[in-house]
Amino acid sequence: MAIKRSLGEKIFDVFNVFVLTIVCLLVLIPVIHVIAGSFSSTQALIRNQVFLLPVDFNLDNYKLVVQNRTFWNTFKNSVLLVVVGTAVNMVMTLLTAYPLSKSYLRGRKFFILAFVFTMIFHAPLIPTYILIRNLGLLDTFWALVIPPAIGMFNLMLCITFFRSLPEELFEAARVDGMSEYRILWQIAVPISMPIIVTLLLFYSVNHWNSYFNALIYITDRKLYPLQLYLYHLLAEANAIDNYRGVTTVNLDTSPQGLQLATIVVATVPIVVVYPFLQKHFIKGAMLGSLKE
Amino acid sequence: MDRASSIPAPPEKRRSGPAGLLKFVVRNRALYIMLLPGLAYLVIFKYIPLSGSVIAFQNFNIFKGIWHSEWVGFKWFEQFFTYPQLRRLLVNTLLISFYQLLFAFPAPILLALLLNELRSMVFKRTVQTIVYLPHFFSWTIVFGFTYMILSVQTGLLNNLIESLGFERINFLQKAEYFRSIIVGTGIWKETGWSAIIFLAALAGISPTLYEAAKIDGANRFQQLLHITLPGIMPTIVILLLLRIGNILDLGAEQIYMFLNELTYKTGDVLDTYTYRIGILGGQYSLTTAIGLFKSVVGFLLMVLANRLSKKITGEGLY
């Protein structure tokens, strides 16, 4: 019986490695295909010759991206959004989480409930839109920064983390005459690096990746973030996909190579940061699993 | 400015009554001042829109404003439930959510279980690095990948279909494929990342339980059935309830990217309709009624889920 079991286990182990390898391939093939296509010639793309390796390797598509002024403008807007938006997120989240983490703060329960309530009862989209409009934020950069200034889930993570810090440390600083602002900035922040890195990453990836807010609040093309530009680029590609066979004449100017290169460039910042900070992201996801 | 706050505020000296409260606030005013921007944000950007939801009961005119628009009672809600076109939105939302629950919810549990059984740590880490990655791609980029697979002209899958001697299929423009594509791309993007929580739960199971089971002669499948699954059951239950609480929230970020006029029939959901008809079309009251309906149902489900969760696992969501 012992031999039989170990045989079954061996079969299972092989099967398991096999299944997970397939899963990895399913994740990687679309990504590699797009990268390969971005380095291929337009002709090769039209003839469907590209699979996982570039055909007629060249950088023409990237030259098109680099020369594309719309691309650079939206790229610049997105970088600015990530920098300013994340800075506002961090200041607002830390300032709010610190007092709310003090168990002796009067009214703490009420305040926290007021924040948590908005997580389970969402304000509908339209009244929010009307508010932004009435505030004169429509079609401004700030419409993308101020409405999402505090992520409620991130705020809860931060409060939970601050609560785990020893209060004696802060008491000692108060006795030494430090103000609460200096305590937050010079004592709480330096010892809270794990949560701060996690929040920085959650917020910045979110700013970099979202297009729907911009779709709602921004109509001025000069203010488009990169993702909204990509949205229009790809929606257009999808719309003409139906008719491409009919209009063979225009095939040489097919922008598919340009689309692929733009996708790759838009993903580069994420892929560069990813391996570096993977462990922090995972810590953040686990923090979330412990308690909201 | 903060001289007063330099005096420590010992928690044991809490006195009740308004005088004690005032004294406490004055002494700890630095903390309250710190809280002000966050509270201002909360009131302006969360509670004002929430109270602005009253326009769901009005015939709201943006030039007249909330104070001068006429009241129409439940007119918009009645329309929402009686117009077949609007009922379709609810059906689409619920169906997509249901399919996600059926297919996308168990996927990360399965993945975590398989990862947990791996012997080689190097292989395990490699797989994890790869499957977490798609979580960080935006939906526009995921759509780009999907397009390169499913496009009728150049899609990889269509090339395969053609080479097998079949007709190319226009997946992205046909209503009958829309829901499957939404669920499938959702699985592709989030399964790895969602598995982390289950892996954490798996790591929390005491190894002595497995040792005891081995001594009793339990094989790996029996161990899975009697130790592993019961061990992660609380996590599964909590996440399942959380998911059910969000059943009307599908994430417009994904669906709007995949949606086009040809797929409205199966793919138009509450959120995408609200954007198109509300913001682009200016039908503010009707779409606010839809939004309010969503919020109320979401809230009730969440409260119910919390109760159930406390009853089943002894732990609440909040």
> What is the per-residue pLDDT across B220-254, written as a single tens digit (0 to 9) for each?
888 999 999 999 998 898 888 888 888 898 889 99
pLDDT of residue B126 exceeding 70, the answer is: yes
Which token pair is A247? 């209009």
CATH of residue A146's domain is 1.10.3720.10
Using one digit for the tens of pLDDT, what is the confidence trace for A160-195? 999 988 888 898 898 988 899 999 999 999 999 888
> Which of B30, B149, B220 is nearest residue A30 as measured by Cβ atoms?
B149
pLDDT at B5: 45
Burial of A2 (0-12, 13-18, 19+ CB in 10 A): exposed
**Min Cα–Cα distance to chain B from A209, Å:** 5
> Which of B45, B138, B302 is nearest residue A209 as measured by Cβ atoms?
B138
One domain for residues A54 and A71: no
Integer CA distances (angstroms), B269 to B182, B183, B301, in order: 12, 14, 19
What's the mean pLDDT when you consider all of chain B? 89
Interatomic CA distance for residues A261 and A229, integer angstroms: 14
pLDDT of residue B11 exceeding 60, the answer is: no
> Are B52 and A96 inside 8 Å of each other by CB?
no
One domain for residues A132 and A158: yes
pTM to 2 decimal places: 0.90
Using one digit for the tens of pLDDT, what is the confidence trace for B57-77? 999 988 888 888 889 999 999
Which token pair is A284? 């953040």
Number of domains in chain A: 2
Residues of the domain holding A30: 1-58
One domain for residues A240 and A107: yes
Instruction: Please check whether residue A93 is in contact with residue A154, taking contact to mean a CB–CB distance below 8 angstroms.
Output: yes
Q: Which residue of B has its CA nearest to A149?
A: B41
Q: Which residue of A has its CA nearest to B141?
A: A263
One domain for residues A161 and A181: yes
One domain for residues A210 and A271: yes
> Which of A27, A37, A118 is nearest residue B131 as measured by Cβ atoms?
A27
Which of B13, B131, B135, B153 has the most A C-beta neighbours within 10 Å, making it the best mutation to test the interface with A? B153
CA angle, B119 as apex, B117 and B120 as ends, to 5°?
130
Instruction: Please check whether residue B177 is in contact with residue B171, taking contact to mean a CB–CB distance below 8 angstroms.
Output: yes
Interatomic CA distance for residues B215 and B208, integer angstroms: 11
Q: What is the torsion angle, in degrees rounded to the nearest 10, for the CA atoms of residue A183, residue A186, residue A191 and residue A197?
A: 120
The number of C-beta contacts closer than 8 angstroms across A and B is 292
Instruction: Please check whether residue B258 is in contact with residue B213, taking contact to mean a CB–CB distance below 8 angstroms.
Output: no
pLDDT of residue B18 exceeding 70, the answer is: yes
> Are B21 and A288 inside 8 Å of each other by CB?
no
Which token pair is B184? 């499938």
One domain for residues A29 and A81: no
Provide mean pLDDT across the span A98-109: 93
Integer CA distances (angstroms), A92 to A83, A200, B205, in order: 14, 12, 37
One domain for residues A241 and A135: yes
Residue A52, CA atoms < 13 Å, CB-side half-sphere: 5
CA angle, B246 as apex, B241 and B251 as ends, to 5°?
140
One domain for residues A190 and A277: yes
Domains of chain B: 4-61 (no CATH), 75-140+170-313 (1.10.3720.10)
Residue finishing a domain among A58, A86, A104: A58
One domain for residues A136 and A260: yes
Residue finishing a domain among A24, A40, A58: A58
One domain for residues A4 and A95: no
One domain for residues A238 and A280: yes
Q: Which residue of A has its CA nearest to B149?
A: A30
Please give the DSSP secondary-structure letter assigned to residue A123: P
Which token pair is A155? 């705020």
What A27-32 contacts at long range (C-beta under 8 Å, 24+ apart), as own/partner pairs, is A27/B130, A27/B131, A27/B133, A27/B134, A27/B188, A27/B192, A28/B130, A29/B156, A30/B145, A30/B146, A30/B148, A30/B149, A30/B188, A31/B133, A31/B145
One domain for residues A100 and A15: no
Provide mean pLDDT across the span A31-46: 91
